[in-house]
Amino acid sequence: MAMQEEKIEASAAPDPSVTAFRRIASVAELEPYGQFSKWVDDHDILVFRHGGGVKALSNICPHFGGPVGYHQMKDGVFTCLWHNYRYEAATGRCLTNGKLCLREYQVKVEDGGIWVQLVEKI
């Protein structure tokens, strides 16, 4: 009986590995291009300078999985390598197909590092 109670408590507790911010890079990695992409666990994350800050979107194109950040962002837009779908950097919204949007990650810059939360921004 005591073991069953322990199981219930364990499953109710949030998983800190999912909700906590993780340091994925140093700020220096944004130079010289102001952007980079990196796999962290099963997330391919596109990190870039935007509006005086740093943003993070999924680097995986929802069209067929191409690398959104392969090319340099131009005029606030990323163009996917595979079929040239265009994505607005500010929102992740697809400009080619209005039904598609890139996943956004919460990001913060702290202690010279870039920290990302590996859950969807709500």
Q: Which residues bind ligand FES (CB under 6 A)?
A: 61, 63-66, 80, 82-83, 85
What type of residue is 52?
Answer: G
- Least CB distance from residue 99 to ligand FES, whole Å? 13
**Which residue, 85 or 115, has its beta carbon nearer to ligand FES?**
85
- Least CB distance from residue 79 to ligand FES, whole Å? 8
Q: How far is CA 53 from CA 34, 35, 102, in A?
A: 11, 12, 18
- Least CB distance from residue 45 to ligand FES, whole Å? 16
What are the respective helix, strand and coil percentages of the chain, to the nearest 5?
15, 45, 40
